[in-house]
Amino acid sequence: MSQKHTRRRTSYDGIVVTVPVSVAYERYSPEPAHWWLGRALSKLGESADIGAGDIDGLCASSFTLFPDTAVGLSQHFGLTPRWLDHIPTGGASGVIALRRAARAVQSGDANVVACIAGDTNHVDSFRSMLTSFSRFSQDASYPYGSGGPNGSFALMTRDYMNTYDVTREDFGKLCVAQRKNALNFPTALMKSPLSLEQYLDARRISDPITLYDCVMPCAGAEGYLVMSEDRARELRLPFARVLSTIERHNAFPDDAVQIRGGWALDKDEFWDMAGVAPCDIDLLQTYDDYPVVIAMQFEDLGFCEKGTAGEFIRANTFTTDGSFPHNTSGGQLSVGQAGAAGGYLGIVEAIRQLTGGAADNAVAGAKLAAVAGFGMINFDRGLCSAAAILAGEDA
Amino acid sequence: MTEPLKRPSKKNPQKRTVLPTLPPHARSRKALAFTAAAAEGVLKLQQCAACTHITYPPREICPKCWSMDLSWVPVSEGGELVSETTLRTSINTHFRERMPWRIGTVQLDAGPSVLAHVHGDVEAYSRVRVIARTDKSGQGVMMALPEKETPNMADDRQLRALTCDPKFRRVLITDGRTELGQAMARALADAGASIVFVGIAEAWRPYAGSAELAGIPGVEIMPLDITDTISVEELAGEIGGKTDILINTAEYVRPGGAMERDGVVTARDEMEINYFGLMRLIQAFGPGMKFRGADGDNSACAWVNLLSVYALSNWAAFGTTSASQAAAYSLSQCLRGELAGSGVKVMNVLFGPLDESWRQPLPPPKVTPKRLARTVVESLQQGLENVTLGPVAEDVVRRFREDPMVLERELTQIQLG
Amino acid sequence: MTTKKNILSDIGQALLSGEIDTIDLTHTLDPDFPVIVLPPEFGQCARFRVEEVSRYDERGPAWYWRNFSCGEHTGTHFDAPVHWISGKDLPDAAVDSIPPDAFVGPVCVFDCSAESQADEDFLLTPNFIRKWEESHGKIQAGSWVLMRTDWSKRSGAEYLNMRDDGAHTPGPDADAMRYLIDKRDIRGFGTETVGTDAGQATHLSPPYPAHYLLHGANRYGLQCLANLDKLPATGAILVCPPLKIKHGSGSPLRVLALVDRSAP
């Protein structure tokens, strides 16, 4: 892939993200996705004290909204946006929504964009969602045991562990730290502490993956607003600045097994644009559906060299008070995975951390946050990767 | 090393029969070309005509050069297992009932990396042979096997799910009066079938080889006349619940076209055996086999129809027989449709002239009954659904696939000499 | 007129009282009952087959019925003169045109059971017939003649008794047929075997003499008969009307015999 003739991305100066909202997750919900997305929108309105007339951009993500898309939502929600996007990138949707909404606002296509993601979880909806995920998966993945994401990530995990120096204990350390963070996050579905022994002794799911490597599917929704800094000040909303964002799809298609993500293609520009270095970051929110992906994000975003995530994990602590605060709300591993909202969890948490909205799980003095997203297992690998660097108002 | 399969114990009459559940069967239309090749045991992937790139999963366009000209070609079965996992949970009921299940990523020598089922004897990160077969849903899948044969390899649980190995299974051969039926009985007995039921019509007429047939260990002679609905129903009533493999060896062949015949008596006899006979078998044995597609190690697994290759396109020298074979072939396709979802495969063997009395004046090459029997056994062991046997059949099938209309012209033009 | 009326009335009374026994000489039409087997390149006799049309089910909720199919020479059956080439041009020689009085009449029974048991290729000869007449009297013109061999008691492969050189079953020789037709003017000839001719009759002269001579003389045949051992040598009445098939060469049928139980 030639990078030589690619124009560099222009900055996101003057664009802010604000009003992080989460609709408390439920393991199963009888409500449809429309309810969850609607609730996220109404919470945005309540928190910002704005109404439909103030929002002229809408960006939505959901797996369970069928037969609707963001288009149908505009009518359902009484919005008349002049900019609309439906983002199907799953775990990368939160960051990608931010990036696209930021450009819309920056270019004047919209003033205030509501970014929302949500999914319901009926008793059988996870299974039926998985079996209609993609054509490549349908043709070339499901027939092989139908392990769902567990199987795909197990293959990645096995290959990664075989290639690099990383152990089950290392992955366990991340999961245990996230659970500790979650205990201070009121709406996390996982409410009991997790020990490394419990992690290591857990029920096997798909070797080498065990129970606590996996997220729990649930219903929930997340949302935030993107607008100009000026507008945020007018509305007196605490905000975070967008220093840099990237997205990339189907990177490294010839790797036999996915061992790196698209971040690796874009990381230099990513940091350059933000004008900061990985060591400046106060907290990182990764997409954490399986620890192996966390390890890839550490490496491919530049927090450590490729292949050294194990060492990096052993050298750091990941709780909110640790040397490397990570997934401070507990991540999907402990909060739950509310479908597409799982791709929003990290960015919403990062905004909270930078705007003084994090309570018992606040990272002291947090000014710079990095957020990464990863999504859409198509056939054998996740195709979408994205990342953003956000800065607090005073940073 | 694979644990050798144990002879299945007798069925517990107090337990409900396990009903067939299926692995995911939905496929794109493009992927059906993979399935069609897998049904013949051939691993085919798409190759770009413009840049020769081999691609997978099935696509509409070459991802390297954007040529739309992708064609399915046989590729090397060689590869290397680069990652693997043993699934212990599944969202699919079929697999959930069969956990744990080993799968892996194979880097094929042909280029792409693919997901595949993995045989228990494959060692981590080793060279493998990747076969394409149809699974219980009837769709094509890949399985990585050890590069070299291992002890009891065929008994691997996951491999046996893709094959129709006669070992410990109960087989019905519908006509044992002929050399073919008798060769078939012997081949199945040699392949480890636990019982070989052999149908004999009109026991009041003696037939050659009867004593030898009865003497084959495991053979049980059963009255069966597939032209007689009552006879077929009576036998199904007796053994329909334990027929795991049905091999229809009955055939009625007479030379001649339609115009050179007087009347339809012979043609009716052809239809009675080749078409209605098959239909009677389907009606009597089909439902029981369909129900028993997941009934343990000796579940019902295969229905074998032996068909003249001229079922594909009429050969006037055996014109009305060809027509009845075409009807039978069509009915066999119907059977495949009706058994879909049961886990029971329909194997069609298209063969060239058989070496038997009604084709005696035909020139070689011919297929001997023994060869046909051996091919059926091997194809069951491999889990194939479509088999072409003999140089003549291979030639006709190749031409048929190239262009059925040209083949029709070839077979109907004025015969020289 | 009065006498005739009395005869039928007497028979009626005798039938009702049981003085006259009705004997069934018919095999059940069964799909697995043997039929004659010709060399494979010839057309073959269709087997008896049935297919259900409905059985108190969705195909017909209150009724049970079936289609059956068979040849004109399947099971216990009647041979009309047109069956054979020697009778092809005779008048009234198909089952629909044969005068109906041919179907009811007196019957003589030759007991060849001992001879047939001793020799499966036993041939009925004029000599045998003359001996029979010495004991039972001269065969009345217009009689049916049946050859009892007890072959109907055989089953399975024993019945056709096929070997590599053909079937081995008893039957009449040509002279016996000539004697019965020319000297005794019989109406028809019946056997327990699958044909009126012996199993090896293709090697006689003329081949298949019973068929050739009987039908050439506009006489009839019956085969696959049963229960001949229950008939007296003389004195019984045979009832054998075939189905009235247009230009039929023969027909499966029910063959009955009326036997006077009071006869000595």
Tokens 């009606």, located at residue: B283
Q: How far is CA C178 from the centre of its chain?
A: 18
SS (H, E, C) chain A: CCCCCCCCCCCCCCEEEEEEEEEEEECCCCCCHHHHHHHHHHHHHHHHCCCHHHCCEEEEECCCCCCCCHHHHHHHHCCCCCEEEECCCHHHHHHHHHHHHHHHHHHCCCCEEEEEEEECCCCCHHHHHHCCCCHHHHHHCCCCCCCCHHHHHHHHHHHHHHHCCCCHHHHHHHHHHHHHHHCCCCCCCCCCCCCHHHHHHCCEEECCEEHHHCCCECEEEEEEEEEEHHHHHHCCCCEEEEEEEEEEECCCCCCCCCCCCCHHHHHHHHHHHHCCCHHHCCEEECCCCCHHHHHHHHHHCCCCCCCCHHHHHHHCCCCCCCCCCECCCCHHHHHCECHHHHHHHHHHHHHHHHCCCCCCCCCCCCCEEEEEEEEEEECCEEEEEEEEEEEECCC
CATH architecture of the domain with residue range A136-215+243-389: 3-Layer(aba) Sandwich (3.40)
**Chain centroid, CA A362 distance in Å:** 18
Mutate to test the interface with A, among B83, B133, B136 (most CBs of A within 10 A): B83
pLDDT of A241? 98
- Which amino acid makes up residue B143? M
Q: Name the DSSP class of C103.
A: G
Please give the pLDDT value at position C237: 97
Strand arrangement, sheet containing B44-48: B54-55, B44-48, B70-74
Q: Do B105 and A150 touch (CB under 8 A)?
A: no
Q: Are A101 and A87 in contact (CB under 8 A)?
A: no
Which of B377, B243, B354 is CA-nearest to residue B299?
A: B243
B276-291 per-residue burial string, b: 16 or more CB within 10 A, e: under 16: bbbbbbbebbbebbbb
Task: Decide if B24 and A131 are in contact by the 8 Å CB cutoff.
Answer: yes
Please give the domain boundaries of chain C with CATH numbers for all domains: 16-28+73-260 (3.50.30.50)
Rounded to the nearest angstrom, the minimum Cα separation between B23 and chain A is 6
Q: What is the pLDDT of residue C255?
A: 98
Burial A220-247 (b: 16+ CB within 10 A, else e): bbbbbbbbbbebbeebebbbbbbbbbbb
**Tokens of residue B352, six digits:** 């060239």
Closest by Cβ to B229, choosing from C34, C51, C162: C51
Q: Does pLDDT of C3 surpass 60?
A: no
Q: Is the pLDDT of residue A7 over 90?
A: no
Quote the pLDDT of residue C1.
Answer: 47
pLDDT digits (tens, 9 = 90+) for C176-227: 999 999 999 999 999 999 999 999 999 999 999 999 999 999 999 999 999 9
Task: Name the DSSP class of B307.
Answer: E
- Assigned token pair, C93: 């020689």
Amino acid identity, position A99: R
Using only C-alpha atoms, what is the Rg of chain A? 19
Residue in chain A lying closest to B26 (CA):
A138
Q: How far is A252 from chain B (nearest CA, A)?
A: 13
- C224 and C27 Cβ atoms separated by less than 8 Å: yes
Q: Which residue of B has its CA nearest to C156?
A: B204
Give the residue on A whose Cα is nearest the Cα of B93. Answer: A146
Contact pairs from chain A to chain B, CB under 8 Å: 119
**Chain A contact partners (≥3 CB pairs within 8 A):** B
Structure tokens at B246: 């049905």
> Which residues are bridge partners to B107 per DSSP?
B80, B113
In 3D space, the residue among A90, A73, A85, A77 whose CA is nearest the CA of residue A110 turns out to be: A85
C-alpha distances in angstroms, A17 versus A111, A237, A338, A350, C71?
12, 10, 21, 10, 92
- Please list the rounded mean pLDDT of every run of 10 residues in chain B (417 residues): 91 90 94 98 98 97 97 98 96 95 98 98 97 97 97 96 97 98 98 98 95 97 97 97 97 93 92 98 98 93 98 95 98 97 97 93 94 98 98 97 96 78
- Structure tokens belonging to residue C218: 């506009």
Per the CB < 8 A criterion, the answer to whether C180 and C186 are in contact is yes
Answer whether B33's CB lies under 8 Å from B73's CB.
no
Query: With contacts defined as CB-CB under 8 Å, which chain C residues touch B269?
Result: 44
- With CA atoms as reference, report the closest residue to A330 among A63, A43, A25, A88: A25
Q: How far is CA A228 from CA A231, A237, A242, A273, A386, in A?
A: 5, 11, 10, 18, 22
pLDDT at residue A1 greater than cutoff 50: no
Q: Given a contact as 3+ CB pairs under 8 Å, which chains touch B?
A: A, C
Domain A15-124+219-234 has CATH 3.40.50.720: no
Kindly tell me the sign of the dihedral angle through the C-alpha atoms of A294, A300, A304, A309.
positive
Q: State yes or no: pLDDT of A133 exceeds 90.
A: no
pLDDT tens digits for A323-333? 999 999 999 99
Q: With bands split at pLDDT 50, 70 and 90, how would you rate the model's confidence at A294?
A: very high
Instruction: Tell how strand B44-48 and strand B54-55 pair up.
Output: antiparallel
Cβ contact A155–B92 (<8 Å):
no
What is the CB neighbour count within 10 angstroms for residue C42? 8
- For chain C, what is the radius of gyration of the CA atoms? 19
3+ Cβ–Cβ pairs closer than 8 Å linking C and A: no
Per-residue confidence at A39, pLDDT binned at 50, 70, 90? very high
What is the enclosing helix (H) or strand (E) of B160?
Answer: helix B157-160
List the domain boundaries for chain B. 32-160, 170-412
The mean pLDDT value for A3-17 works out to 86
pLDDT digits (tens, 9 = 90+) for C6-57: 899 999 999 999 999 999 999 999 999 999 999 988 999 999 999 999 999 9
Neighbours of C169 (CB within 10 A): 27
Among B162, B167, B165, B164, which residue's Cα sits nearest to residue B132?
B162
**Gyration radius (Cα) of chain B, Å:** 22
| B291/A131 Cα distance (integer angstroms) | 26
The ipTM, to two decimals, is 0.92
Burial class (CB in 10 A: 0-12, 13-18, 19+), A4: exposed
Q: How far apart are CA A104 and CA C227, in angstroms?
A: 104
CA distance B227 to chain C (A): 8
CA-nearest of B357, B358, B363, B360 to B392 is B363
B321, two tokens: 């027989």
CA dist A126 → A132, B168, B241, B353, C81 (Å): 10, 40, 38, 54, 81
Confidence band of C263 (pLDDT split at 50, 70, 90): confident
Question: What band does A101 get if pLDDT is binned at 50, 70 and 90?
Answer: very high
Q: Which two tokens stand for residue B76?
A: 């090397």
CB C147 within 8 Å of CB C189: yes
B259 class by beta-carbon count within 10 Å (0-12 exposed, 13-18 middle, 19+ buried): exposed
| pLDDT, tens digit (0-9, with 9 covering 90-100), for A324-381 | 999 999 999 999 999 999 999 999 999 999 999 999 999 999 999 999 999 999 999 9
Q: Is residue B153 within 8 Å of residue B145, measured between CB atoms?
A: yes
Q: What is the pLDDT of residues C160-186, one digit of tens each?
A: 999 999 999 999 999 999 999 999 999
- CA dist., res. B244 & res. B294, Å (int): 11
Answer left, alpha or beta for residue A341, where phi above 0 means left and psi between -120 and 50 means alpha. alpha
Residue C4 has pLDDT above 70, yes or no: no
- Give the separation between CA B236 and CA B245, rounded to whole angstroms: 13
- Which fold, B170-412? Rossmann fold (3.40.50)
Distance in angstroms (rounded) separating the CA atoms of residues B127 and B78: 7
pLDDT exceeds 80 at position A129: no
Residues of C annotated as catalytic are 83
Measured CA to CA, the distance from residue B177 to residue B208 in angstroms comes to 7
Q: Pairing mode, if any, of strands A381-392 and B44-48? A: unpaired
C-alpha angle A75-A80-A85 in degrees, rounded to nearest 5: 80
Residues of A with CB under 8 A from a CB of B: 126-127, 130-131, 135-136, 138-148, 150-151, 154-156, 158-159, 162, 203-209, 253, 256-257, 379-380
Residue A127 burial by Cβ neighbours in a 10 Å radius (0-12, 13-18, 19+) = middle
Tokens of A301: 């975003």
Closest CA to C190 of C148, C155, C160, C218: C148
Contact yes or no for B91 and A146 at CB 8 A: yes
Query: What crossing angle do the helices spanning B229-239 and B278-291 adopt, rounded to 10°?
Result: 20
Considering Cα of B317, then B318, then B323, then B329, what sign does the dihedral take? negative
Angle at B139 between CA B133 and CA B144, to 5 degrees: 35
Mean pLDDT (whole number) for C128-157:
97
pLDDT at C139 over 80: yes
Mean of the per-residue pLDDT values of chain C:
95
CB pair distance less than 8 Å for A156 and B63: no
> Rounded CA gap, B188 and B165, in Å?
10
The answer to whether residue A62 scores a pLDDT higher than 80 is yes
Give the residue from chain A lying closest to B92, CA to CA: A146
> Which is more confident, C2 or A149?
A149
Residues A196, A194: Cα–Cα separation, whole Å: 7
- The DSSP symbol for B295 reads S
Which pLDDT belongs to residue B318?
A: 94
> Closest Cα partner for C178 from C86, C80, C85, C82?
C86
